[in-house]
Structure 1
C-alpha cells in the first residue's frame, strides 16, 4: 500500500487551506481514484486512511472529510472530495456521515432550503431551474451578476410565479 501512497503523493498539490488535493482521475461524484495493478481502482482518501489510520479501520465505517465546508463556492464537485490529507479525514458511521452532510441551511449550490409540512427540506430555486430544464454549476452561478437567491425572488415576483427569463 505504501507504493500506492507514494503514487498518490506524487499527484497531490497542497492548498493554502491545508488540503492535499488529488490531481488524478476521479469518479462521477468527484472523489479521487487510483488504479492498482491487477485490481480495481481505489478511492485515494481510503488509501490515506489505510496508510495513516489502519488501526481505526472497521467494517461499516466511512471516510468523512472534516475539511468540507457546506458553503464553499467552488466548481462542482467540491474540491474537498479530492483531499487526501490524513489530518482532514476521520472514520465515522454512515449515520454520522449523513447527519453531517445534512447540516446547514443551503443546498449544494448555495440556495436556501425551504421546509415542507412533513419536515423534508427542498430547494425551490433548484426545483424551478430543473423545471425549466436548466442545470448550473456553482462556478457558473457565482459568475452571474444575479445571485441565486435573487433568481428565486425574480420567480416569486413574476405573474406566473415561474422564472422564465433573466435579462441583463
Structure 2
C-alpha cells in the first residue's frame, strides 16, 4: 500500500479489547473484512499481511491465530475473528494446516488419535480413502466380515484355504485387501488379462468399422 492507502486503511481500523483489529466498513457475506485497494475489493487480512509482513508465499493461505487460540469460537461465517486485520494475529500456512485449525467436523476428525472404537490411528492401522479421509482398518475389516455374514450366512469367511478356482490362499498368491479381506492373486491376474483381451477386441472392432 502507498501512504495514502495506508492512512485510509488505518483510519478504518477499530482496535478491540482482545487485540483484534476490525475494519469499520463493509464485511463480506463470508464474514471477512473488505478493503478497496487500487480500485479492487480485496480481503482486508490479506492486504494487512502483505503490507506489514510481506508477500504471501505461493500456495499458502493467511490464517487468523486469534481464532485458533479462541477455543470457544465455533467458527463459520459468523466468526468475528475473520474481520481481524491485526498483522500479529495473521500467519501464512498451507490449506491443510488452515483446515485442521478449524472447527469443522472434518477438522475435528482429522486431529483424533483413535477411532470411535478406541483403536489408535497409526500408519499401519489407518486407511486413507481416495479423498484422503481416515478410517480404521480394524473396524473396516470387522464391518466387511459382518457384511459377508449377513449377506452370505453359509460362508465361513476367513476359514477357506483355497479360492473358488482352487488356488491356495497362501504365500505370494495371497493378497490382503484394504478392508482386511483376502483375495487370490492368480484370479486377479486372470481377471486383468481377460479385461485387456476384451479391451483389445473392442479397439480392433472399432478400427475395422
Corresponding residue for residue 52 of structure 2: 52
Distance 1:58 1:73 in 2: 28
Give the superposition deviation at 1:119: 7.5
Matches within 5 A, 1:76-155: 77-102=78-103
- Whether the aligned pair in 2 keeps the contact of 1:62 and 1:97 (CA below 8 Å) is yes
Deviations 1:114-157 (A, max 9, x none): x999989xxxxxxxxxxxxxxxxxxxxxxxxxxxxxxxxxxxxx
Give the superposition deviation at 1:36: 2.6
Q: Decide which structure has the larger Cα Rg and report it.
A: 2
Task: Give the alignment's TM-score, normalised by structure 1.
Answer: 0.55
Corresponding residue for residue 19 of structure 1: 20
The one of the two structures with greater contact order (alpha-carbon pairs below 8 A, sep at least 6) is 1
SS of alignment partner, residue 85 of structure 2: coil
SS of alignment partner, residue 67 of structure 1: helix
Task: Point out where structure 2 has 5 or more consecutive residues left out of the alignment.
Answer: 109-114, 118-132, 136-209
Task: Give the alignment's TM-score, normalised by structure 2.
Answer: 0.45
**Kindly tell me: are residues 119 and 60 of structure 1, through their superposed partners in 2, closer, same or farther at Cα, counting changes over 3 Å?**
closer
Corresponding residue for residue 71 of structure 1: 72
- Whether the aligned pair in 2 keeps the contact of 1:45 and 1:83 (CA below 8 Å) is yes
**Kindly tell me: are residues 70 and 22 of structure 1, through their superposed partners in 2, closer, same or farther at Cα, counting changes over 3 Å?**
farther
Give the superposition deviation at 1:65: 0.4
- Whether the aligned pair in 1 keeps the contact of 2:74 and 2:103 (CA below 8 Å) is no
Q: CA RMSD in A?
A: 3.3
Distance 2:103 2:79 in 1: 15
Task: Point out where structure 1 has 5 or more consecutive residues left out of the alignment.
Answer: 108-114, 121-168
Corresponding residue for residue 30 of structure 2: 29
Structure showing the higher helix proportion among its residues: 2
- Whether the aligned pair in 2 keeps the contact of 1:5 and 1:47 (CA below 8 Å) is no
Give the superposition deviation at 1:5: 2.8
